[in-house]
Amino acid sequence: MFYRKPCKNLTANLLVLSVALGTCHSIAWSDDDDDEEIPFDEAHLFFELNNTDGDLGIHALIDGDAWKKLEIESPNEREMLDIRVKSRLRRQGLTELFFESAEPTFDELPPRRFFRRFPAGIYEIEGVTLDGEELESETELTHVMPAPPGATVNGEPMAEQCDEEEPLFDITEVSAPVTIAWDEVTMSHPDADGGGAGVQPPVPVSIHNYEVVVEIEVEVDGEEFASVFSAILPPDVRSMMIPPEFLAQGDTFKYEVLAREKSFNQTAIESCFEVEE
């Protein structure tokens, strides 16, 4: 998946920390078990499916009072994440954490096995503040993935092959102005061997928002970088005109449309278009 800046509630700076995975020992978070726990301001676990590339990953967003310890416990009471802040950073504390797992393709990690690895249910997120108070929230992780939002560019269907070196290269050719539109997503993923492997038959879903991301590689002073336009849109909006100022940077663009369900589980599709003069 190419670069995409998530919405406000899904953006954080990821720090490299000492993390222990898959252990099942218990941790004494506080010397006083009678202390009242403080909930995190945000505590989310969710899945992201790249429907175009065929891969799944698990993400988390945690935000709240400054903390020096944090752990996540799965529904079977196994600790799957353990972070302990060290040295000067321990004195400063952390307030926000966003992470995303590796996303091997379905050939490497079939969806059914992926969902068995991360069972649906209530996950506990616990921490300790700089003052030694306990933080604790619960979040529900579900296997309900939105169906992919089929998209068009100026009414033209999505390109299926965006690598110009491949024989089936079929980039969508359009003229400015450029509008990306997509179908309303009302059901979960229909593919029992893909993104819908966790829930069959498909069930109705409630979309929290859609996201559109457009990217172009540009060169400035001999260096290349990705220039990105992104927009978060409410569920009743299903089209977006790309600003002419952004299109003026070049002619070949990649784009992504993402449907985010109320649980934060999200499904993305990727494609490309070329703007003709």
List the CATH number of the domain containing 266.
2.60.40
Same domain, 179 and 261: yes
Domain boundary among 117, 141, 165: 141
Q: What is the pLDDT of residue 221?
A: 86
pLDDT band at residue 35 under the 50/70/90 scheme: low
Asked if the model's pLDDT at residue 62 lies above 50, the reply is: yes
In a domain, 51, yes or no: yes
Same domain, 201 and 265: yes
**DSSP result, 37-93:** PBPPSEEEEEEEEETTTTEEEEEEEEEEEEEEEEEEE-TTS-EEEEEE--HHHHHH-
pLDDT band at residue 49 under the 50/70/90 scheme: very high
Per DSSP, the chain holds a count of helices (H) and strands (E) of: 3, 16
Same domain, 92 and 16: yes
Same domain, 162 and 120: no
Whole-number percent of the chain with pLDDT over 90: 82
133-187 pLDDT, tens digit per residue, is 999 999 999 999 999 999 999 999 999 999 999 999 999 999 999 999 999 999 9
pTM (two decimals): 0.85
Same domain, 133 and 155: no
In a domain, 20, yes or no: yes
In a domain, 2, yes or no: no
Same domain, 46 and 129: yes
Same domain, 192 and 126: no
Domain boundary among 88, 110, 141: 141
Domain boundary among 141, 166, 189: 141
pLDDT band at residue 68 under the 50/70/90 scheme: very high
Same domain, 135 and 157: no
Same domain, 73 and 156: no
Asked if the model's pLDDT at residue 25 lies above 70, the reply is: no
In a domain, 3, yes or no: no
88-111 pLDDT, tens digit per residue, is 999 999 999 999 999 999 999 999
Please tell me the total count of domains within the chain: 2
Question: Domain range holding 159?
Answer: 151-276
Same domain, 52 and 159: no
In angstroms, rounded to a whole number, what is the distance separating the alpha carbons of residues 55 and 147?
Answer: 14
